[in-house]
Amino acid sequence: MGRVVTTPVRRRRGAELERAIRRAVLALVTARGPAGVTMEAVAAHAGTSKPVLYRRWPDRSALLRDTLLHAAGRSIPTPDTGTYRGDLLAVLRGWAATLTSPASAPVVAAIVGAMQQDAELREAFRESVIGWRKAEMARLIRRGVERGELRPDVPVEFARELGQGVLWHRFLITGDPIDDEVVVRIVDEIVMPFVAARPQPRP
Q: What is the domain-level CATH number for residue 184?
A: 1.10.357.10
Q: What is the pLDDT of residues 39-82, one digit of tens each?
A: 999 999 999 999 999 999 999 989 998 998 888 766 677 789 99
Q: What is the pLDDT of residues 134-153, one digit of tens each?
A: 999 999 999 999 999 999 99
Q: What pLDDT is recorded for position 116? A: 87
For the entire predicted model, the pTM comes to 0.80
Same domain, 34 and 116: no
Same domain, 31 and 130: no
Dihedral over Cα of 141, 147, 149, 150: its sign: positive
Same domain, 24 and 119: no
Domain termination site, one of 6, 37, 70 = 70
| pLDDT over 70, % of the chain | 90
Q: Which residues lie across from 196 on neighbouring strands?
A: 150
Residue 137 lies in a domain: yes
The 3-class SS string of 65-102 reads HHHHHHHHCCCCCCCCCCCHHHHHHHHHHHHHHHHHCC
The total domain count for the chain is 2
Residue 3 has pLDDT above 80, yes or no: no
Residue 111 lies in a domain: yes
Q: Which domain holds residue 178?
A: 75-195
Q: What pLDDT is recorded for position 141? A: 96
Average pLDDT for residues 156-184, to the nearest whole number?
Answer: 96
Residue 119 has pLDDT above 80, yes or no: yes
Residue 95 lies in a domain: yes
Same domain, 86 and 163: yes
> How many angstroms separate the CA atoms of 85 and 90, rounded?
9
Residue 4 lies in a domain: no
15 or 3, which is more confident:
15
> How many angstroms separate the CA atoms of 200 and 26, rounded?
53
Residue 6 lies in a domain: no
Instruction: Report the largest interatomic distance among the alpha carbons of the chain, rounded to a whole angstrom.
Output: 78
Q: Which of 72-76, 120-124, 179-183 has the highest mean pLDDT?
A: 179-183
Q: What pLDDT is recorded for position 118? A: 86
